Chain A
Amino acid sequence: MAIRNPLQFYREPLPGVDTAELQGKLIVIEGPDAVGRSTQIALLRQWLEQEGHAVLDTGMARSALAGKGIQMAKQGNTLGPITMTLFYTTDFADRLENEIIPALRAGFVVLIDRYIFSIMARAVARGEDRRWIEQVAGFALVPHAVYYLRTDVEHLVSRVVLGRGAFDYWESGMDLRFGPDMYESFVKYQARLIRALDSMVEPYGFAVIDAGQPIERIFRELQRHMSRLRLMRAPRRKPALQKVKA
């Protein structure tokens, strides 16, 4: 038998979910905007699939229920911070119940680009009560691992300017206007986000990875971390053929 390490909920069990059935692995990549998370997820996915694992990857605002609604709400100018927090939590819950949990049941490795921690960090950066959002998001499953791609604001700025060449309204926290222009607001807001994520490292057991390194080095570090999860032995017992609706 494979080593069974049953997943648990943080605070509040979801109605109708038996965690003993969840055979897969739940891996989270966290980090601020533009830190390079999606690049790493693409590399990890490729690697894991080569190793014979079925992989589901998912990220914020991609739910069938609320993804579109969030995009539309962000185009307007009336989305308040509490509404935004709850809209993203709805999106997360929909993906958890309809994508992530079914994939875990089927024995997939689930790679998540930002989990509840980003929702929480954004709420805290906007001055909301941390305990409130921690309890709201308490129906989340405790992941097998959370890898926090950490860097400082200067590095983020250089990535945004060299990469995309422009600041994004929401990534700059312009809804609350932390500064007179997008650059200054970005610097202040992202510093708050990083502070909020840093404060979660210990209570939530993040593994911190220096995102200032070259892509290859980060990837190798992630691989080293993940090989400790014994992913390689688990699924051989019974290959998961069942396809899960993404």
Chain B
Amino acid sequence: MYLKPITNWTRRLAFENHLAVLILAWLTLLHFAGLWLFTRGFLLSRLALSNVTACEDYRLPPTHKRAVLLVIDALRFDFVSPDPPEPPSKFHHHVLTLPQELTRHQPSHSFLFDSFADPPTTTLQRLKGITTGSLPTFVDVSSNFDATSITEDSLISQLRRANKTVGSPLDKYDI
């Protein structure tokens, strides 16, 4: 008795407007398929866990009390390398020479590396990598549904937890 309107409804759906339903359902499936394929190739995603490493875990006696971390945006390795490509560019090779000089004179105090930055090599993605040690993805799905912004354990949050004062001339590090 109560089901009558509903069964009527589905029957009408099936017989009355069947071509419209068929075509639109068919299109919906095609769109789903296209989006599914595209997204699998395009959207890099991972789940961002909000866990934090406890203070007593995985640590060593410190060698330094403090640190100065200077990010020079887009500082490519060859700009500071002692062995840049041949022939060197007069515009950007052997110009910023301090790192190679100190590495030559104080080999146990100064270390210079060519570091591989995971793509996408965009500043915000990289800063996240440099502070959290994790890989960049576009969609950092939050493991905590309630959170409006994603906070992952990072160098900065560990410094804060250790009651260290972080000074920064730019507020984007105020994570």
Mutual binders A and B: no
Residues of A near any B CB (own CB < 8 A): none
